[in-house]
Structure 1
């Protein structure tokens, strides 16, 4: 159980202890049905109730306007990287524009190029993805189909500030790694999407919030499974959905609402965790280098290194002796990464910081 509490993995991420307890019980038998959640029909009244509650909880947490549809999709963000331009990059508009701010946004813009003409509005390659632009200062064509960005780059540890006003063109955000970690003004976005395995639950489900005004842009003739209207029309039940993943997601939204007390409270907790970790890393600046420049540091993912692969590996072993897991950096960047998703507790961060300090005394 200790390794669950001290799971700093970049994804799949930690889950709240109470959610794990409820899930363990549900795998054997749901109190409401007597059947395992793994064998529940997606057409059952029980599951339709789960879909309804998951949607209600998200609407309540975000104070989401009624004009937004909520869909629970499959295929992760990777499928939506292609699906979004298929649906919204129509000939009636100029090419969509993309912000290349790190590994995952590069993946999204590359996939869009397979579907349609597109433009890069900003590219952080030159500076090694250590900083971010201001979204409202980008030179975007006024008739662009949309502007797409990744709100939190998990690999490099970069996080955008939320937009202060509704942009002139439709704004689409991949919020896979910071969705429901802080309040946001959803009405500034045309679409928000997030796969589950960071803050929402296990892999298998992706949440999409779509302004219904965007649906009129979707061309006819798309394969039905790739037409975003399909899942909306069928209440996320067009084909067999990931029942288990959606059930756990619903439990997580219930935990955020009832145990944490909403997204403002969650943000305060996340700020405290990030301040504690970055404070420790900065105190060790002679030995540790944080990848992201200070103004753009992520509250969700801290990417750092001792500057020596042997020391990085030694710290992973040092941390593992204390029950800490998931600190390996992404394969594209190397080094170390500590992910502070919603379910990671402040006590867990304290344990990590103590391990860093102890290791520094012994080895650097």
Structure 2
């Protein structure tokens, strides 16, 4: 087997090694099933144990209240940009308020506008998306259908610290890139969604946590697979779910519960990892230029730049030679970015921080 590198990709992203090893063992023949996990029926008792186990783990990790459904869907977060508006905005006669803090919330409001009136309650574009707004900066509608936010913008590297107060309006959250990175007060949200391929598993499945009363807003004239209520009534089995991806989500949530010890412990590890990189940036005296305001810095995605494109190219090449890989920034903004999701080992971040200091010393 080739040597594994430290993979700082933004998603699909690094998975826990113990999970990959368990997948490897089960791939040929899942214990008790007589078949590969990729071959078993989604209607079988074996898969029922997997999907109910994954849901139970998610409920335990996040403390999901009983009046919320946990759904396993397909189509990724982009699918949810439209689906949220289809179910909660379309035909409501109300506007939807969007807190636009970066690329992904910007794409979400664009999708919502195809279904109704969607307006920015705050737009960080004039400040180049370096922060989240303060509560008093939000310009909320009198009676919005919902208020939408993205908890962590992977490209800009900004992450919310305190949930906005939205009154009676349900708060909708795209948590694709920081689900399970820390404890979350689920009861403050009407709906949370997250594609799995950053912190929860492989690409192919999207987690949706939705409050029961919001299911009643889904219009009966929506196609079944675009209707939250129908998907919930069918327990995510309206059509064949991404069985393999759900199975890996079960393993990842097992890992979070049993090996990590829950989300409070996971948050401590994530804060420690992020501090290593931000310290290297802050101590570089401007050689490394971070993007986000310090009080909004992400613990998941750390974007930074150097004084020249040539230096950035050399940095990426030399980092890869040390098995520190996939550190290039998003194609839309360039620069560098270290994505340090839950499964990124502490030692990988330690090695990156050490290399950053060495590179700075040689090239400053």
Q: TM class, shorter-chain normalised?
A: over 0.9
Task: Evaluate the alpha carbon distance shift between residue 258 and residue 66 of structure 1 in structure 2; reply closer, same or farther with a 3 A threshold.
Answer: same
TM, length-normalised to structure 1: 0.97
Output the CA distance in 1 between the equivalents of 2:177 and 2:164. Answer: 20
1:33-53, Cα deviation, whole Å (9 max, x unpaired): 131112121111111111100
**Which stretch of structure 1 is more off in the superposition, 261-270 or 285-294?**
285-294
Q: Is 1:152 matched up with 2:152?
A: yes
**Alignment check: 8 A CA contact 2:147 2:166 kept:** no
**Alignment check: 8 A CA contact 1:5 1:17 kept:** no
1:109-154, Cα deviation, whole Å (9 max, x unpaired): 1111112121111111111111110357522123100000100000
Shift of 1:26: 1.6
**Alignment check: 8 A CA contact 2:181 2:270 kept:** yes
**Which stretch of structure 1 is more off in the superposition, 183-192 or 227-236?**
227-236
Task: Evaluate the alpha carbon distance shift between residue 166 and residue 55 of structure 1 in structure 2; reply closer, same or farther with a 3 A threshold.
Answer: farther
**Alignment check: 8 A CA contact 1:135 1:163 kept:** no
Output the CA distance in 2 between the equivalents of 1:224 and 1:315. Answer: 49
Structure-2 residue corresponding to 1:38: 38
Shift of 1:168: 3.2
**Alignment check: 8 A CA contact 1:28 1:35 kept:** yes
Shift of 1:326: 1.3
Structure-1 residue corresponding to 2:253: 253
Output the CA distance in 1 between the equivalents of 2:256 and 2:137. Answer: 33
Output the CA distance in 2 between the equivalents of 1:335 and 1:32. Answer: 49
Output the CA distance in 2 between the equivalents of 1:2 and 1:289. Answer: 34
Task: Evaluate the alpha carbon distance shift between residue 189 and residue 3 of structure 1 in structure 2; reply closer, same or farther with a 3 A threshold.
Answer: farther
Structure-1 residue corresponding to 2:344: 344
Structure-2 residue corresponding to 1:139: 139
Structure-2 residue corresponding to 1:314: 314
Question: Could you say what secondary structure the match of 2:71 adopts?
Answer: strand
**Alignment check: 8 A CA contact 2:90 2:115 kept:** no
**Which stretch of structure 1 is more off in the superposition, 85-94 or 234-243?**
85-94
Output the CA distance in 2 between the equivalents of 1:185 and 1:341. Answer: 20
1:220-239 superposed matches below 5 A: 220-239=220-239
Shift of 1:5: 5.4
Moved over 6 A (4+): none
**Alignment check: 8 A CA contact 1:174 1:194 kept:** yes
Task: Evaluate the alpha carbon distance shift between residue 3 and residue 199 of structure 1 in structure 2; reply closer, same or farther with a 3 A threshold.
Answer: farther
1:186-219, Cα deviation, whole Å (9 max, x unpaired): 0000000000010001100000000001111122
Question: Could you say what secondary structure the match of 2:83 adopts?
Answer: helix
Output the CA distance in 2 between the equivalents of 1:334 and 1:42. Answer: 42
Structure-1 residue corresponding to 2:14: 14
Structure-1 residue corresponding to 2:127: 127
Task: Evaluate the alpha carbon distance shift between residue 164 and residue 156 of structure 1 in structure 2; reply closer, same or farther with a 3 A threshold.
Answer: closer
1:95-114 superposed matches below 5 A: 95-114=95-114
CA RMSD of aligned residues (A): 1.5
Question: Could you say what secondary structure the match of 2:325 adopts?
Answer: coil
Output the CA distance in 2 between the equivalents of 1:167 and 1:318. Answer: 51
**Alignment check: 8 A CA contact 1:90 1:145 kept:** no
Shift of 1:90: 4.3
Shift of 1:4: 4.3
**Which stretch of structure 1 is more off in the superposition, 26-35 or 154-163?**
26-35
Output the CA distance in 1 between the equivalents of 2:196 and 2:329. Answer: 20
Output the CA distance in 1 between the equivalents of 2:240 and 2:345. Answer: 34
1:283-335, Cα deviation, whole Å (9 max, x unpaired): 11321100111111101000101131111111111111111111010011100
Number of aligned residue pairs: give it.
364
1:1-364 superposed matches below 5 A: 4=4, 6-135=6-135, 137-163=137-163, 167-364=167-364
**Alignment check: 8 A CA contact 1:3 1:323 kept:** no
Question: Could you say what secondary structure the match of 2:113 adopts?
Answer: helix
Output the CA distance in 2 between the equivalents of 1:156 and 1:165. Answer: 23
Task: Evaluate the alpha carbon distance shift between residue 336 and residue 167 of structure 1 in structure 2; reply closer, same or farther with a 3 A threshold.
Answer: farther
Shift of 1:166: 6.5
Task: Evaluate the alpha carbon distance shift between residue 99 and residue 4 of structure 1 in structure 2; reply closer, same or farther with a 3 A threshold.
Answer: farther
TM, length-normalised to structure 2: 0.97
Question: Could you say what secondary structure the match of 1:40 adopts?
Answer: coil
Shift of 1:94: 1.8
Structure 2: gaps of 5 or more residues: none
Shift of 1:175: 0.2
